[in-house]
Chains A and B, each alone.
Chain A
Amino acid sequence: MLLCLVSGILFFNACSKKDRIPGNGTVYNPTFLTLQLPAGWPAPAFSIFAANPLTEEGFQLGRKLFYDGRLSRDGNFPCASCHQQFAAFATYDHDLSHGIDNQFTTRNAPGLFNLAWMRELHWDGGINHIEVQPLAPITAPNEMGEQLSQVLQKLKNDTGYVRMFKLAFEDGAITSQHMLKALAQYMGSILSYNSKYDKVKRGEANFTLSEQQGYTFFKAKCETCHKEPLFTDFSYRNTGLTLNTFTNDFGRMRITGNRADSLKFKVPSLRNAALTFPYTHDGRLYTLGQVLDHYRNTVAPGPTLDPLLTGGIPMTSTERGNLILFLNTLTDTVLTKDPRFAAF
């Protein structure tokens, strides 16, 4: 009897959307959502939800997956272990993050927000679509260390997931594609646009004089790369940080195979910068002050150094102080406390 029921669901549900077996709470009838873009922002160049319609059910499934340790081999390393909401989804206070078996990642974990605008992911831009990004941490031996097939088996053994996949996807199948699309719905929905800076832009708050002076300096010297309102132009640049000889990380060159891309890394967004310390691709700089001191004093010359940074960016101590005050206005505590993105 049960078998009949199960196969009935499997084979005929898709055809007869209206007459479901009542009472099991697995009717596919999703609530479609539209991602509300902050007013005045440029529309993303492509929609990450075009082939992955955003639904409340898909989002909630993605949220559960993001916080679930079972996506890792030993159960201890969910996505959220390295991407913490209170740190704007970066790893708080870690140059490199802890992965499975007492290992470390080889790069600093960036914050996760406004990914809907980001065509290429990772410091070297090696990932070309948000949906396939999770395959990297899940299978990396120094991050979550798990096989995709094992993850799917664990999900299939959990009746909670069986139900949630049915609610989120028309055929209800627990497949890698559906898991990845759900994660993309969750991550792609995380927006950061409620910092003091944004409120100033909307006329809801005012900069202090120092913050304003920091902003003016920023517009003059930093804006080309850290372009508003996203605070990145999504390009890859060499900012004169010398090669990390421990990780031998040449950045973008690994992806393009082009020498001209040696030591170039993606321009990170500076939103929530006060929370995402330590800084740069390998977390070598601990404070914003140290980052500014790098721009001021230690920009290393080299064939691929960005021309904008030849000779560094001179600044007085006052300018340095004002810049830090300005960068602090980019912290978005609405995001870091939003219950919608919190642990499932």
Chain B
Amino acid sequence: MEKATRYRGWGLLFTATILLGTACSKKDTPAPDEPVGVVTLSFSHTVKGVPMVLNGPAYTNALGETYTIRKFKYYISNIVLGNGSVSDAEKESYHLVDQASTASLSFNLLPKVNSYTTLSFVLGVDSLRNVSGAQGGALDPLNDMFWTWTTGYIMAKMEGNSPLSNQPNNRIEYHLGGFSGPHSVLKKITLALPPGKTLDVRKGQISAIRIAADLDAWWQQPNSISIAGLPICTTPGAQAKAIADNYAKMFTITEVINN
């Protein structure tokens, strides 16, 4: 609870006025002066190391199948910075990262002053929020990441075209979701900072972590995915899970910046 208050307090200073309403309307006690810093988390998307361009060039997967990308977006939730026994979890930690929206590719965390060595998050929306009714903000169904026929968030979405697809207009569509049971696609991802590096969060300073996500990971390891064999995957199940097992490995930390 104390943490929640603190985060809202800083939200006032650092993010949009929308938060102002929330900050005022909840009758919380004023933020105590716990020292926090700012960490900018930013994502860049690549395919085999080359910057991703939507509706752009054809890419080739491990099986030699070519494809283009029209949409690429996913949820990041439950972000935690850690260092051994110390950790700091972001409150209301839900972010939609969308290649089509530059603004979505970076956002600020307001963690407690400390030095951190790991960053972890859930790729997707935790199961609780999938069963808790109408949500707002990043989780607003307006964001087109919500199924209406079987309740649940689409955790990651990729759409494009491929000559290998037998679908209308050679469409390929991967809407990956499913939050419970053996086919849950939820992935907790823990990234260690480069060896010897720490993220130093200091009061009044802005540090940064840059993360790259390479889409090529979706097609391989541990599961070989063929576009010809699976041009469309838009329901929860074993196939969605197979791709999720792959995409859990798409992230790397490319840079840690302390100021």
Q: Which of B24, B136, B235 contacts A177 (CB 8 A)?
A: B136
CA separation between A126 and B148, bound complex, in Å?
A: 9
Asked if A15 meets B24 with Cβ closer than 8 Å, knowing A128-B131, A129-B132, A132-B141, the reply is: yes
Partner-binding segment picked from A134-142, A222-230, A313-321: A134-142
Tell me, rounded to whole Å, the shortest Cβ–Cβ distance linking A154 to chain B: 14
Q: How many residues of A contact B (CB 8 A)?
A: 35
Q: How many residues of B contact A (CB 8 A)?
A: 28
Question: Does B163 interact with chain A (Cβ within 8 Å)?
Answer: no
By the criterion CB–CB under 8 Å, are A126 and B140 in contact?
no
Q: Which of B21, B131, B133, B140 contacts A11 (CB 8 A)?
A: B21
* Secondary structure class of chain B's binding surface, majority of residues: loop
CA separation between A273 and B152, bound complex, in Å?
A: 31
Question: Does A37 interact with chain B (Cβ within 8 Å)?
Answer: no
Question: Does B50 interact with chain A (Cβ within 8 Å)?
Answer: no
CA separation between A132 and B132, bound complex, in Å?
A: 9
CA separation between A171 and B17, bound complex, in Å?
A: 13
By the criterion CB–CB under 8 Å, are B133 and A140 in contact?
no
* Interface mask (B17-50 → A, CB under 8 Å = 1, otherwise 0): 1001110110000000000000000000000000
Contacts of B22 in A (CB 8 A): 14, 171
Question: Does B146 interact with chain A (Cβ within 8 Å)?
Answer: yes
Contacts of A149 in B (CB 8 A): 142
Contacts of A48 in B (CB 8 A): 133
CA separation between A10 and B141, bound complex, in Å?
A: 23
CA separation between A126 and B150, bound complex, in Å?
A: 4
B235 closest partner in A (C-beta): A257
Contacts of B20 in A (CB 8 A): 11, 14
Question: Does A243 interact with chain B (Cβ within 8 Å)?
Answer: no
* Interface mask (A165-185 → B, CB under 8 Å = 1, otherwise 0): 000001101011100110010
Q: Which of B21, B151, B181, B236 contacts A127 (CB 8 A)?
A: B151
Q: Which of B25, B130, B132 contacts A171 (CB 8 A)?
A: B25
Among A214-255, those with CB < 8 Å from B are: 254-255
By the criterion CB–CB under 8 Å, are B141 and A14 in contact?
no
Question: Does B1 interact with chain A (Cβ within 8 Å)?
Answer: no
Question: What residues make up the interface of B, taking CB atoms closer than 8 Å to A?
Answer: 17, 20-22, 24-25, 130-136, 140-142, 146, 148-152, 181, 183, 235-238
Q: A14-B24, A126-B151, A171-B25 given. 17 additional CB < 8 A pairs?
A: A14-B21, A51-B132, A52-B133, A126-B150, A128-B151, A131-B133, A131-B134, A132-B146, A148-B141, A148-B142, A149-B142, A173-B21, A175-B140, A176-B134, A177-B136, A177-B140, A181-B133
Question: What residues make up the interface of A, taking CB atoms closer than 8 Å to B?
Answer: 10-12, 14-15, 48, 51-52, 126-132, 135-136, 139-140, 148-149, 152, 170-171, 173, 175-177, 180-181, 184, 254-257
